[in-house]
């Protein structure tokens, strides 16, 4: 089953105006930094420390290296095919198998929902601590569900994202992390905390420190995702071929450095055992390093940062479901648009129900964040292979070319981190399997509907099918 009946008559690129090229290198840099920063570092620092001990910064460095290698593959592809599509476009061009393209696109959509569900849990936990509510686990779940319902309502009403809004949101997210860095450095300067923790490993029963670092990296990788979403801005950049390589690499380096400094500050002030308890690790750092700092201020900054992540991811997920439905790779009912709001209300409802199920039945932040990383590591493996396959496809313009060894290493690293050998929690495979299984069932239903209605198979409109990517 490798062929999907598709209808290309719905989107006519020749009838639509092209996107305005308004983004210069600085706005693009802010977009990339804002895309990467988010729920991962705010919610999972403690869980990483729980896995690896005091060297909590090391898994973030390893995750940064893997992301950097994969970023080189994206750079070659986005400068070679400067379209607002992403992994689905590259997969389709490389392999031309509609089912594989669908699975990649659906996996990206699912990663957005799991990322948003992670953010909803983090939002509820931080609200509980910031407002001193001391909510129970059940109450946090209910709060997370209520928060996701509000996100769905905003999504239904229609949200016009702009670069200026992204600049503001990025500044808010940066402010929270800079507060942690300043508090940590200030405390270290005053001789507070325990700097020696930053070189303390947690080993396994046989004395190995390698596998705990790898296991922690599978979680830390969630904090580095988001850079791949920047390829969707290619058509709105003034000179993507020239600007993208330098700006994307600069954005990764900046965020990687911030994450290392945050990790060092956190572990210096709070022992790994304490940091790993609960779902609000950075709030503990503020309480320990600056007890007179109004904790509610940092709590609200954190809530705002993760709320933004949830909203953007649910917008992406519902839009991608809508696009796949309009291209007849998902049931046509998922492509319905509300007459007055002009938003894909059925797709919004479908993605929200999936998020409700994840929040209710999976619940824990590590499982949700780990599932997001798992899905994207699988997508990145495919993208790294696609780079090598597409070397035979020449284009008329000059583009960035990554050294051949990097996509090979990227594919191997990503496949390894997605494998069970890393000690990844099996619940993440079960959650990912159920989500992809839902997609396959819908795909089979769509095939039957298309055959009954006599739709013929043609090339999909990849610019509409492939848009979107998770913000962590």
Burial zone of 185 (CB within 10 Å; 0-12 exposed, 13-18 middle, 19+ buried):
middle
Radius of gyration of the chain (CA): 22
332: domain CATH number is 1.20.1740.10
How many structural domains compose the chain?
Answer: 1
CA distance linking residue 186 with residue 209, whole number of Å = 30
Residue 135: per-residue pLDDT = 86
Residue 318 lies in a domain: yes
What is the number of other CB atoms lying within 10 angstroms of the CB of residue 61? 16
Residue 441: per-residue pLDDT = 93
- Which one, of 329, 251, 295, 236, lies nearest residue 19 by Cα? 236
CA distance linking residue 96 with residue 222, whole number of Å = 29
- Which one, of 319, 289, 329, 389, lies nearest residue 159 by Cα? 319
Residue 8 lies in a domain: no
Residue 6: per-residue pLDDT = 39
Residue 4 lies in a domain: no
Q: Which residues of the chain have pLDDT under 70?
A: 1-23, 83-85, 158-167, 229-237, 240, 455-472
Residue 179 lies in a domain: yes
**Threshold 0.75, pTM exceeds:** yes
| Residues whose CB falls within 8 Å of the CB of residue 15, separated by 6 or more in sequence, listed in order | none
CA distance linking residue 182 with residue 179, whole number of Å = 5
Residue 232: per-residue pLDDT = 59
- Which one, of 217, 30, 36, 131, lies nearest residue 123 by Cα? 131
With H, G, I as helix, E, B as strand and everything else as coil, classify residue 337.
Answer: coil
Residue 334 lies in a domain: yes
237 strand-pairing partners: 23
Residue 4: per-residue pLDDT = 38
Write out pLDDT tens, residues 29-62. Answer: 877 887 788 778 888 899 999 999 999 999 999 9
Structural domain span for residue 97:
13-465
| Residues whose CB falls within 8 Å of the CB of residue 302, separated by 6 or more in sequence, listed in order | 42, 122, 126, 130, 176, 280, 282, 283
CA distance linking residue 28 with residue 24, whole number of Å = 6
Residue 7: per-residue pLDDT = 39
What is the number of other CB atoms lying within 10 angstroms of the CB of residue 337? 13
Residue 71 lies in a domain: yes
The three-point CA angle 183-186-191 to 5° equals 125
Write out pLDDT tens, residues 388-404. Answer: 999 998 888 888 899 99
The three-point CA angle 458-462-467 to 5° equals 150
Is residue 32 a contact partner of residue 227, using CB atoms and an 8 Å limit?
Answer: yes
Residue 182: per-residue pLDDT = 94
Residue 458: per-residue pLDDT = 52
Write out pLDDT tens, residues 188-201. Answer: 888 888 999 999 99
CA distance linking residue 214 with residue 58, whole number of Å = 10
Is residue 84 a contact partner of residue 321, using CB atoms and an 8 Å limit?
Answer: no
């Amino acid at each position: 089953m490798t062929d999907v009946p598709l209808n290309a008559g719905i989107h006519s690129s020749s009838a639509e105006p092209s996107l305005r090229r308004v983004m210069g290198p600085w706005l693009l840099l802010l977009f990339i930094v804002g895309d990467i920063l988010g729920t991962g570092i705010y919610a999972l620092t403690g869980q990483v420390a729980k896995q690896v001990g005091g060297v909590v910064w090391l898994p973030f460095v390893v995750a940064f290296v893997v992301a950097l290698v994969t970023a080189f593959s994206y750079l070659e592809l986005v400068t070679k095919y400067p379209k607002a599509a992403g992994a689905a476009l590259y997969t389709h061009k490389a392999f031309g198998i509609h089912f594989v393209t669908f699975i990649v696109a659906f996996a990206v959509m699912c990663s957005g929902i799991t990322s948003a569900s992670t953010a909803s849990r983090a939002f509820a936990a931080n609200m509980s601590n910031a407002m001193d509510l001391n909510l129970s686990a059940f109450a946090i779940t209910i709060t997370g569900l209520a928060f996701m319902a509000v996100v769905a309502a905003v999504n239904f009403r229609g949200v016009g994202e702009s670069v200026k809004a992204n600049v503001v949101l990025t500044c808010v997210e940066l402010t929270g992390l800079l507060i942690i860095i300043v508090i940590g450095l200030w405390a270290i300067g005053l001789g507070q905390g325990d700097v020696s923790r930053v070189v303390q490993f947690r080993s396994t029963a046989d004395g190995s420190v390698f596998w705990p670092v790898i296991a922690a990296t599978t979680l830390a990788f969630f904090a580095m995702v988001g850079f791949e979403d920047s390829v969707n801005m290619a058509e709105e950049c003034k000179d993507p071929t020239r600007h993208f390589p330098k700006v994307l690499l600069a954005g990764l380096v900046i965020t990687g450095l911030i994450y290392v400094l945050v990790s060092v500050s956190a572990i210096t002030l709070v022992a790994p055992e304490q940091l790993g308890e609960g779902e609000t690790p950075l709030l503990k750092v503020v309480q320990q390093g600056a007890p007179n700092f109004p904790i509610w201020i940092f709590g609200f900054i954190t809530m705002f940062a993760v709320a933004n992540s949830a909203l953007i991811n649910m917008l992406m997920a519902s839009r991608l479901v809508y696009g796949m439905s309009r291209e007849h790779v998902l049931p046509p009912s998922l492509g319905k648009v509300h007459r007055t709001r002009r938003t894909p209300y059925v797709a919004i409802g479908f993605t929200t129900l999936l998020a409700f199920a994840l929040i209710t039945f999976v619940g824990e932040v590590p499982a949700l964040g780990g599932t997001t990383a798992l899905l994207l590591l699988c997508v990145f493996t495919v993208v790294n292979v696609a780079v090598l396959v597409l070397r035979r496809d020449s284009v008329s313009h000059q583009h960035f070319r990554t050294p051949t060894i990097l996509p090979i290493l990227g594919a191997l690293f990503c496949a390894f981190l997605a494998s069970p050998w890393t000690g990844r929690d099996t619940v993440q495979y079960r959650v990912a399997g159920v989500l992809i299984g839902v997609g396959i069932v819908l795909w089979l239903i769509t095939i039957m509907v298309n055959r009954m209605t006599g739709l013929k198979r043609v090339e999909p409109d990849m610019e509409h099918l492939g848009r979107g990517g998770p913000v962590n």
